[in-house]
Structure 1
Amino acid sequence: MVELDLSGLKCPLPVLRTRKTLLTLKPGDQLCVICTDPLAGIDLPNLIRELGDDLLEQRQDGNAITFVIRKAP
């Protein structure tokens, strides 16, 4: 699993960097993204849906929001 720590970055950087990383992955690969921007809770699920990938998990722990994404075939 690839981990992408985007803590401290503000919109739109978390979405742009997540998109860039997802486009480099092979089908079935998983990406764990950690963000602290509250807007990421809305923006990243929308990005994942647009790209057709799967959001396996979304959880919040304090200020950190963690997403686990699987690259679609």
Structure 2
Amino acid sequence: MSAEFDITETLDVKGASCPMPVVKAKSAIDELSEGEVLEVLATDSGSMSDIDGWASGTEGIELVNQEEGDDVFKHYVRKTE
């Protein structure tokens, strides 16, 4: 885990497939304040590209990091505005 950011909230979408990880992440990040970080835990390998694409194409959020584990993909998204 990187020391560059603190996790504000964790969203567990394990077992959900596209597009639900992104849909649920968007709802969760809308509830956060500027500068806060959402950790998204997913089991769908497609979430790596889906969340990256969502973050890079959406103003007000930044993909801080992604980690690919054995069974779980971790995504860290910061609300920037």
Calculate the TM-score normalised by the size of structure 1: 0.91
User: Quick check: which one's strand share is greater?
Assistant: 1
Query: Which amino acid in 2 is paired with 1:63?
Result: D
Q: Percent identity?
A: 25
The list of structure 1 runs, each at least 4 consecutive aligned residues, that deviate by more than 2 angstroms after superposition, is none
Structure 1, unaligned stretches of length 5 or more?
A: none
Calculate the TM-score normalised by the size of structure 2: 0.83
Larger relative contact order, structure 1 or 2 (CA cutoff 8 Å, min sep 6): 1
Query: Pairwise CA RMSD of aligned residues?
Result: 1.0
Give deviations 1:13-68, integer Å, cap 9, x for gaps.
11100111111211101100000001101100111112231111100111211011
Query: Which amino acid in 2 is paired with 1:64?
Result: V
Structure 2, unaligned stretches of length 5 or more?
A: 1-7
User: Quick check: which one's helix share is greater?
Assistant: 1
Aligned pair count reads 73
